[in-house]
Structure 1
Amino acid sequence: MVLEKSFKGKAKWLMYLNHFIVGWDDNIWWFALGLFLVEITPQNLQFTASYGLVSGIAVLLFGTVVGDWVDRTSRLTVARVSVLVQNSALIVCCIILYLVMEFKAFIASLAPNEGLLKTCYAFIIIIAILSNLTNMARKTAIERDWIVEICGQDRDMLANLSATMRRISLVTMVICPIVTGQILSRTSHSTGALVVAGWNFFTIFLEYFLLWKIYQEVPQLRREKVREERHTTNTIDLMQGVDVVMEFQDIEKQDKSLGSSDKKVDDNNDSDDVNKMAPSSKREIEKRQKYTFITSLCASFITLRRGWIIFKNYNVCFAGLSLASLYLTVLGFHSITIGFAYTQGLSEDLIGGLLAAAACTGIIGTFIYPRVRKKCGLERTGLYALAAEVASLTLCVVSIFCPGSPFDPLYYSRKGNDDIVLPTTESYQTSSIALLNDSMLSSKINVTTDDGTTAMVTDRSLPVVSSYVSISLLMSGIIGARIGLWMADLTITQLFLESVDVTERGIVAGVQNAINQLMDMLKYAIVLLLPVPEVFGYLVIISYSFICLGWILFAVYVKKTRGYVFPCFKPPQTS
């Protein structure tokens, strides 16, 4: 009761306020970055897809390393570093984007073959990926560790806290695209980049202060991370010769345990203390130094392998694979689906409204989740949530065969790749407009006309479609599926929070993020192979298949955990 009352006070609202600001930052950047990338390369999808692929590879290789660093570092240090590095990286990235958008022609002329411009593109991708990795570290620390320590053993409190934080994220997902869209439409994309940079500069100090206050308000966050005995032996065996530090202490306690009784100790005294240690203590220090050297030499591969071994030895790994399967889908509101919706005649305002509606249905899911979990349990909640998502997305599969659908199963057999052109409009006559141009939410775009000249087109008309039945069913299915999606996400997240040891939360979360990014990366690769609206139906079918696979994998987890999937198949108990 004391723990719950203390959290219901000042710390709870500080946590919610911090999560709102972080969600605002993330959603502004998510919405604006897609438009910025379109603005600087309006010819095709290559730059956007390249960013998605490289980002996925980076998280796949280094996501586990980031999670392992979170495990090995004091909580306050992780919060400090992640806030400072992420926001600083976004500021630098926005400044480079501003320079490229404002002075693109001049930068391209400074070096042969547009060398400097391509270098700027590379820096944009690298810095954005650095921001993503540090943001992942912060989310792992706060959402996989801090809230668990705050809630203690109260699972109901953990479920309500997780649902509320997810609800806050979805609220920002509703508001941010509207606000950001207004800024970009009333000014320009280059000005918008400066606005995003200025906002991130301001929030550095605010986020830093809020996390520090939460850390001070909650004593549980300042205690040691100690591995439970039930995992110690098993984990060492799984390491296969790579030693692991069994205890992680905060900075304050490290100073107390490593310092001598005298407050003023010089380097010579430190050496004497080491020499006086028992042989076992010396070997322990040597092992830790050896581990640090090996990790720094090839950290990503060693930690990724070690993290996967730890991850797969938890029963909840099948639930994690289920969640990862939901990432290989175009049936969500991102640049790919938004671009396709635009080619089907939906306006920017209408697409923004549909995105807000999807976020609202997701919020409904966060309200439903705690009640269903309390009544049915986590496992059945996950089964019902994924089944609801599959049922809703069935409309998307039906949509590709309805009036107005551009789906042509034999498209590539009828036309060679060199003959493929995208639909055009009367006011938008071009000979080389790719799908990315149709996915732009900006009202300005560079167009190459038939005579080879380049012009800036504004207020362009929407493509003409014969019927809106297909796109209406597609959008309805996507919006309705958000209820089940977010309920499933919250369910699987809580399963990890309850099952994973305190000293392995970071590395397990890193493996999960890496698998998620692998599936997301595969999605971008498939889109590059099937980039035109006439074959978008294949993307829908592939996406739907992986959502169904996610339900099957979660059912496997339930079967391994409970021995049965549904109560009607429960084996009879023997007396």
Structure 2
Amino acid sequence: MDSDSEDSFERADESTPIGGDGSVTPNSLTRSQALNLYVSHAFSTWNARGYEFAAILFTAAAYPDTLVAAALRMIIVYFAMILFSSSVGHWVERSPDRLRTLLSTILCNRGSVILGSFFWILILSQRDLVGDEATFVLPSNAFLKGAGFAVAVTFGIVERLSASGNLISMERDWVVTVAAPAGQPYDLTHLNAVMRRIDLVCKLISPILISAFISAFGSVRLGVVFTGLTSLLSIPVEIFSATRVWNSSPPLQAPRAAPPPPPPPPPQRTQAESRSWLARTRQYFHGFEMYFSTTVWIPSVALALLHFNMLTWRATFITYLINVGYSLNTITVARAVGSVFEISSTVITPRGIEYMGKARHHAHLEDEDDESGVGLIASDQEESRDVQTVIGLQRFGLWGMSWQLVNTIPVTLALWAISTLKEEESLSAFARRVVAGQTPPNVAWSVVLFSFLAFSRLGVWVFDLTTQQLTQTLVPTHQRSSFAGTENSIVNVFELLGAGAAIAFPRMEQYKWLALASLVSVVISLIMYAGWVRRQRGHLLHWEKVAHSICVGDRGR
């Protein structure tokens, strides 16, 4: 946007959004509305990312001598998300009032964190964990501790489901509804990039703040109190910000269009049978039938498959790095560098989509009949621009996946080399390390490992952003929320498979096989996505242009 149009945009009355060319765009956001949207999303994401990390610390403090509790909590949560995420998406889709839906997810999420914090306090206050000198001490009781843990995990499931509902409502409904037409301020590409940037910044800073608070005060119980108070204090800010956006946006205030009714049950089924668990099971699988009937289920599954990848900063990978000799400071710095690349993807992606979508970078638009107007959210006047956006999304998403694969290969080689070197160490050397402390792995392989791991994070988040916008624009309006809920279920299937693989190969020397399996998952994901792009566009590369470039280069020499 040039300086003249930006000045006119800033002077515009907030009830009349102005586009980049000075024209009135009633579906566009003003700067104030966008800020309130970002604030509401930031507080929701901050709490979700913070509690996700805090629950790991609370579980480790409650059961310090075993990993069983942490693994059990993770598996239970994954199973719950697989079972109920589709229903959450269906609920968001069927709720006619957008504001009430979003506020319900906020209140449910914050309430579950606050109540869960109460039970974490009870668990962590038992005498065998805090000793007799603590201010508040409860007698040790294994049964009550287990019961409290079960209740805390239950509230954790509610927290994850409500956070998922909040994200679906915000990303698949609110953002798509208020987004400006393509190419104007606050269009869908811009909103997605900023929202994901907020998510990644919260993912980096929120866990660090909780860790710093617990370290400063030396008490996990105070960390529980801090987590609960943060959730409580954020409620009015989130509600106020979301309400301001809704009050000033007629498209959001309009009742959501009712989705088509489900097909009637067979005549032989009675009303009681239609309400039985069998009917609910059929409804559950109907969500998967809808999901796989869309044109973008392949990119969605390709993205979900990446959640099996164990070459990311998940608990198993961090545990492996610590056990092979890396210090916590080294891991923290490497993770922070990777986060910088993740955040940079939100800056690069909008520009990459625009660049890849320009007419001079692909065949003429009239040759792309298969993509024109399919499920796009823009009006007919912007159809040409929207076709360019979809093509840009497809091409830049392919670039992101290719970039991730190229950088995952050296990461896998480095882990394989580090594991092999550890296996070749003699028993006496191992005994000396146990006494004198772990010696870090080979420096050269460590540089390769952490450098290319950071580079790979750029590719995965580029692919994530482009796939998200493809599903936002190419899935029919009345199916977006249900699609997102089912997509979340599939994501958790691969998360669960990753956790199961880590349990099946628990020894440190076996992690190289998990790394190899992760590389295979990235290859499969790229093949799936590339095949989908080829079917949509009829080609992956313009080979005639490649040949022309080579010929020109040869003549130049």
TM range (shorter): 0.7 to 0.9
- What is the CA distance between 1:403 and its match in structure 2? 4.8
Are the structure 2 counterparts of residues 150 and 56 from structure 1 closer, same or farther at C-alpha, using a change threshold of 3 Å?
same
Task: Deviation per CA, 1:29-51: give whole Å up to 9, x if none.
Answer: 12222121111112232211112
1:255-280 deviation digits (Å, cap 9, x = unpaired): xxxxxxxxxxxxxxxxxxxxxxxxxx
Question: Would you say 1:474 and 2:411 are equivalent positions?
Answer: no
Structure 1 residues 318 and 404: alpha-carbon distance in aligned structure 2, compared to 1, 3 A threshold: closer
Tell me, yes or no, if the aligned pair for 2:122 and 2:148 is still in contact at 8 Å.
no
Corresponding position of 1:98 = 121
CA distance in 1, matches of 2:125, 2:275: 43
After the TM superposition, which residues 49-448 of structure 1 pair with which residues of structure 2 at under 5 Å, given as runs? 49-73=71-95, 74-103=97-126, 105=128, 114-151=142-179, 153-154=181-182, 157-187=187-217, 188-226=219-257, 239-241=262-264, 294=274, 297=277, 301-376=281-356, 377-403=392-418, 426=434
SS in 2 for 1:401: helix
Aligned to 1:444: none
Asked if 1 retains the 8 angstrom alpha-carbon contact of 2:204 and 2:336, the reply is yes
For 2:47 and 2:324, locate their aligned partners in 1 and report how far apart those are by CA, in whole Å: 31
Alignment counterpart, residue 509 of structure 1, candidates 471, 484, 488: 484
Q: With a CA cutoff of 8 Å and minimum separation of 6, indicate the structure with the bigger relative contact order.
A: 1
Residue 19 (str. 1) matches residue 49 (str. 2) = no
Greater shift in the superposed pair: 293-302 or 518-527:
293-302
Change (3 A) 1:146 1:394: same
CA RMSD of aligned residues (A): 3.0
User: 2:500 aligns to what?
Assistant: 525
Contact 1:71 1:507 in 2 (8 A): yes
TM-score, L = length of structure 2: 0.79
Q: CA deviation at 1:297?
A: 4.8
**Cα distance change on mapping 1:503 and 1:34 into 2, 3 Å:** same
Shift of 1:24: 1.6
Q: What SS does the aligned partner of 2:307 have?
A: coil
CA contact (8 A) 1:68 1:303 kept: no
Letter in 2 for 1:51: R
Please, which runs of 5 or more residues in structure 1 have no aligned partner? 244-286, 412-421, 428-460, 571-575
Summarize the alignment of residues 33-52 of structure 1 with structure 2, pairs less than 5 Å apart: 33-52=55-74
- The 8 Å contact of residues 60 and 514 in structure 1, kept in 2 or not, is answered as yes
The equivalent of 1:449 in structure 2 is none
Q: How far off its partner does 1:139 sit?
A: 0.4
CA displacement at 1:109 relative to structure 2: 6.2
Q: Which moved more, 1:205-214 or 1:360-369?
A: 205-214
Identity of aligned residues (%): 22
For residues 121 and 322 of structure 2, the distance between their equivalents in structure 1, rounded to whole angstroms, comes to: 26
Q: Which amino acid aligns with 2:347?
A: F
For the 8 Å contact 2:114–2:228, the answer to whether it is kept is yes
Distance 1:119 1:162, change over 3 A: same
Matching residue of 2:520: 545
Q: Closer, same or farther in 2 for the Cα pair 1:227/1:408, shift >3 Å?
A: farther
The one-letter code sitting in structure 2 at the alignment partner of 1:493 is Q
**1:559 correspondence with 2:534:** yes
Structure 1 residue 483: Cα displacement:
0.5
Distance, in Å, in 1 between the alignment partners of 2:88 and 2:121 is 30
Q: Normalised by the size of structure 1, how large is the TM-score?
A: 0.76
Work out whether residues 90 and 482 of structure 2, in 8 Å CA contact, stay in contact via their aligned partners in 1. yes
Q: 1:555 offset after TM fit, Å?
A: 1.3
1:532-562 per-position Cα deviation (integer Å, ceiling 9, x unaligned): 2111111111111111111111112212322
Q: Is the 8 A contact 1:389 1:482 kept in 2?
A: yes
Distance in 1 between residues matched to 2:170 and 2:521, nearest whole Å: 29
Deviations 1:377-408 (A, max 9, x none): 11111111000011111121111332565665
Report the number of matched residues.
473
**What does the per-residue CA deviation read over 1:96-117, in whole Å, with 9 as the maximum and x for residues that have no partner?**
1122122153999665xx2221
Where does structure 1 differ by over 6 angstroms across 4 or more consecutive aligned residues? 106-110
Find the counterpart in structure 2 of residue 248 from structure 1.
none
Show the counterpart of 1:249.
none
Identify which range, 308-317 or 557-566, moves more after superposition. Answer: 557-566
Asked if the contact 1:315/1:557 (under 8 Å) is kept, the reply is no
Displacement after TM superposition at 1:369 (Å):
0.6
Contact 2:397 2:466 in 1 (8 A): yes
> Aligned-pair distance for 1:81?
1.1
